[in-house]
Amino acid sequence: MAKIITVQKGTKDILPTEIDSWHFIENAANEVFSNAGYKEIRTPIFEATELFARGVGDTTDIVNKEMYTFEKSERSLTLRPENTAGVVRSYIENGMHRLSAPVKLWYKGPMFRYERPQAGRQRQFHQVGMEMFGIAQPTADAEAISLAVNYLNKIGLNDLDVEINTLGCPTCREEYKKKLKEVLKPYLSELCPDCQKRYEKNPLRLLDCKVEECKAIYEKPEVKKVITSDFVCPECHEHFESVKRYLNILKIKYTVNKLLVRGLDYYNRTVFEIKSNNLGSQNAVCGGGRYDSLVKNLGGEDTPAVGFAMGMERLISLIPKQNENKLDAYVVSTNIEETLKLVSTLRNAGIKVDFDMTSKKFTKQLEKASKLAKYALILGEDEIANGKISVKNLEKSEQVTLKINELKEYLFNCQI
């Protein structure tokens, strides 16, 4: 029969040999986010297409080119390309605005984007992220950035660049967009086809373009002057100054990148990205920012919010491979009844233990034990007759014989 293989380019199995690394970064997320008062939320993998069209924005690449959309019972559904829109939908639907602010949520799980698969870019990938609702003050922006940095440090990533920028508010941004369009008008025909569309629909996104010819235009002195101008209104300026002040107090190093606008339509004021020099061209591990208008746009009450998302595959590729833990013990015996009893008692006591189900020869079982476990628990007929057990430390090749009722305590004292 023909072999069935994964049909989709850009999808991957996460194999048992890799799973310890996944558990490591997932457990660290649970710990770091819980310590900061966040609760995990799990929303559906598919949602109404309209949620993303409205929530992510129909001028974004995600919505225009990258969504997996399908029809079911005459409804258009989409596999989530990101999780902010889903979390906001859930926040509104479950009346979480009635909870006292801030409402702090975190999530992890698969996302789906129809992109060209390449190193660091898959079509099904995973993100871990947070969303915080209800705080308009710059403290929330700094808290989100510091949470991201703390988490990355916790999993051993210290050598990362934090880039921040402010996009202002809808009012001051309008003025900036106008100026940007004005100064770019003479170059319109030289911009890439995508940027030509963005010019009308979403001129800020022009700055996000990765095409070399476009990037060169943004380096021209008169264009650069507009890009690097401090266009924001006094309130937005003060907000950004406070974010920077808090980051300084927290000793978080950052650079201000005036070209950082982020791909999504919903951001205002602070946006940020965290990048690694060890990732090649797909070098962003984290992206986030403030999105004060999204909850209202999706039908909720006016609620300020901040959030970020990290690409978990990129995190995994940066951390040292986590070693699979060996079993604590492996029972070596040809007496299956006694073995079954012992294994069950030890597992219930929280000891990681396995055994041979086929009653192979002692020597074969011992060989297997030394591959898989730290200790061999030897139950020969002599030991069974005397209520004893021999414990062999497989790393040091030392062996002791104990009374069977002393075993649990002995193993715990060995700090397995």
Residues that bind ligand ATP (CB under 6 A): 82, 113, 115, 120-122, 125, 127, 263, 282, 284-287, 309-311, 313-314
For residue 118, what is the DSSP state? B
d(CA 113, CA 239): 33
Smallest separation (angstroms) from ligand ATP to the CB of 58:
16
For residue 100, what is the DSSP state? P
**Comparison of 86 and 311: residue with beta carbon closer to ligand ATP:** 311
Residue 116 half-sphere exposure, CB side, CA atoms within 13 Å?
A: 1
Give the helix/strand (H/E) hosting 294. helix 294-297
d(CA 16, CA 3): 21
Smallest separation (angstroms) from ligand ATP to the CB of 162:
13
d(CA 307, CA 288): 5
Comparing every residue's Cβ against ligand ATP, the nearest one is 311
Q: Which amino acid is at 329?
A: A
**Comparison of 203 and 311: residue with beta carbon closer to ligand ATP:** 311
Smallest separation (angstroms) from ligand ATP to the CB of 2:
29
Contacts for 198 with CB less than 8 Å, ≥ 6 apart? 59, 205, 206, 209
Burial of 164 (0-12, 13-18, 19+ CB in 10 A): buried
**Comparison of 11 and 242: residue with beta carbon closer to ligand ATP:** 11
**Comparison of 127 and 333: residue with beta carbon closer to ligand ATP:** 127
Smallest separation (angstroms) from ligand ATP to the CB of 285:
5
**Comparison of 294 and 404: residue with beta carbon closer to ligand ATP:** 294
Smallest separation (angstroms) from ligand ATP to the CB of 141:
16
Q: Which amino acid is at 289?
A: G
Smallest separation (angstroms) from ligand ATP to the CB of 120:
6
**Comparison of 60 and 146: residue with beta carbon closer to ligand ATP:** 60
**Comparison of 143 and 273: residue with beta carbon closer to ligand ATP:** 273
Smallest separation (angstroms) from ligand ATP to the CB of 134:
22
**Comparison of 148 and 169: residue with beta carbon closer to ligand ATP:** 148
Per-residue b or e along 109-127, where b marks 16 or more CB atoms closer than 10 Å to that residue's CB: eebbbbbeeeebbbbbbbb
Token pair for residue 170?
């809808």
**Comparison of 113 and 198: residue with beta carbon closer to ligand ATP:** 113
Smallest separation (angstroms) from ligand ATP to the CB of 62:
7
d(CA 373, CA 351): 11
**Comparison of 208 and 354: residue with beta carbon closer to ligand ATP:** 208
Could you give the angle at which helices 234-249 and 138-154 cross, rounded to 10 degrees?
A: 30
Token pair for residue 213?
């010819």
What is the secondary structure of 256-276 as a DSSP string?
E-TT---S-TT-EEEEEEEEE
Smallest separation (angstroms) from ligand ATP to the CB of 416:
37
d(CA 295, CA 168): 18
d(CA 221, CA 251): 33
For residue 209, what is the DSSP state? -
d(CA 81, CA 161): 25
**Comparison of 163 and 356: residue with beta carbon closer to ligand ATP:** 163
d(CA 414, CA 104): 41
Smallest separation (angstroms) from ligand ATP to the CB of 263:
4
d(CA 239, CA 255): 16
Smallest separation (angstroms) from ligand ATP to the CB of 72:
25
